Amino acid sequence: MNSQPSNIRIRFAEKKDAAIILDLIKELAVFEKAPDAVTNTMEDIERDGFGDQPAFWCLLAEFEEEIAGMSLYYIRYSTWKGRILYLEDIIVREKFRGNNIGRTLLERTLQEAVKLGVNGTRWQVLDWNEPAIEFYKKYNCTFDGEWINCNMDKEQLNKATKAI
């Protein structure tokens, strides 16, 4: 892995960063063609990332004294493998792309996985996001075409449990 460029500073997010985290999430939703899909709030992020029982960690990338991107991850448990670091998202603001910020965030996240002593990492990439796919290939990761993602939103979850 390469050393971190001197013009990029990576730091752990703090509660005071909740608004910028939400802004980055919304920017990603626009990029992924789902601008109205974000229901997360600043209060959710404050509680879930910085409360008594954090559900995630977040690394922020600063470039030229601005927040340029983030990596948001958490530990999931695999019945086959044990503790796995799940990389939920790497987000780099459009105006900062091409400055090695995504690479630096990914590499720092992988370093955190090693520090946490997990048995591997997992993440997803949209099948149409060719730049990201090519980027991940440089890290020799495995692409899994076998599994199908299943999701339920809050409304679906409530409806399903009422029927039980």
Beta-carbon-side half-sphere exposure of residue 144 (alpha carbons within 13 Å): 7
Our answer to whether residue 74 is catalytic in this structure is no
Q: Identify the active-site residue in 73, 74, 136, 139.
A: 136
CA distance 149 to 116: 26
Active site (catalytic) residues:
136
